[in-house]
Amino acid sequence: MPEMSSLPGNYTALVIGSSGGIGSAIRQTLSADPRCNEVICMSRREDGLDITEEASVVSCVQKIASKKIHLLICATGALTINGVGPEKTIRQLDPDAMTAQFRLNAIGPALVMKHFLPLVDREKRGICAFLSARVGSIGDNRLGGWISYRSSKAALNQIIRTASIEFKRTHPDAVLVGVHPGTVETSLSEPFSRGRERMRPDDAAKMILEALNAVASTQTGSFIAYDGSSIEW
C-alpha cells in the first residue's frame, strides 16, 4: 500500500469519477492510507455529478466548500459515448460524436479545474491529477485513427498545461499534472485490448499514486505515465 508521504499528515483527498474502474480502485487505495484523513468521493452514479454541466459541478463544489483539499484526482473520461466508439479513419468522423468526446474528455475536466482547484490548500503541498491518455500525445502518434478521442485528450493536455501556469501563482507548493493510467482492466478498454496485457485496477491505482507522490513541484503542468515516466506532448 503506497503512502502519500509527500502530502501533509491527515491530508484530505477528493476523487472525482470514484465509481469508475480506476476511480474506485484509487478510492479504495487511498482509504487504506493511514495518513489520509478523509476521501471525498463524487461521481454521476453516487451523487449525480455531471462534469459536462457547469451547474452540476458548482452544486457539488458547494457541498464541500469548507474543505481544504490536498489531493485531487479526476478519473473521468470515456472512449465510447452513446454507443459510438473511436473512428478507424477520418471518413467515419461524425461531428456530433466528436462534440460528445470533447464535452466529456476536455470541457468537463476544465470545469472541474475551474471550480474545484480553488479548494486546494494554498499553504501546503497539493497534488492535482487528471487522467489523460498516451494517445492524446501529438508527438507519440504513429498509428493514426481515433481522431475524436485523441484530439479531445490532446485538448485536455493543453488545458492542464495552461491551467497549471495560473494555478502555480496562487498555489506555489501544488502541482497539476496529466496522467496516462496505462491499459487497465476496465469497461473502457475491454473492446480495444485484444491481445494486449492489461493491469488490474488496484495495481494501476497503486502505481499512479506512487508516481504522483514522487512528482516534484517543478513538474507542474507535465504529462506523465503511471510509472512516473514523462510523455511527450
Domains of the chain listed by start with CATH number: 11-225 (3.40.50.720)
Q: How far apart are CA 91 and CA 211, in angstroms?
A: 38
The C-alpha cell 482509504 sits at 31
Query: Alpha-carbon distance 65 to 67, whole Å?
Result: 6
- Quickly list DSSP for 174-202: EEEEEEE--SBSSTTTGGG-TTS--B-HH
What does the pLDDT look like over 139-184, one tens digit per residue? 999 899 999 999 999 999 999 999 999 999 999 999 999 999 998 8
Place of cell 483527498: 13
pLDDT bin (cut points 50, 70, 90) of residue 186 is low
Tell how strand 36-42 and strand 223-225 pair up: unpaired
- In this prediction, residue 50 carries a pLDDT of 97
Quickly state the pLDDT bin for 199 (edges 50, 70, 90): confident
- The continuous run of DSSP H or E covering 178 comes out as strand 174-180
Indicate the average pLDDT of the chain.
Answer: 94
What is the per-residue pLDDT across 81-109, written as a single tens digit (0 to 9) for each? Answer: 999 999 999 999 999 999 999 999 999 99
Output the pLDDT for position 72: 98
Residue 60 CA to residue 79 CA, distance in Å, equals 25
Q: For residue 187, what is the DSSP state?
A: T
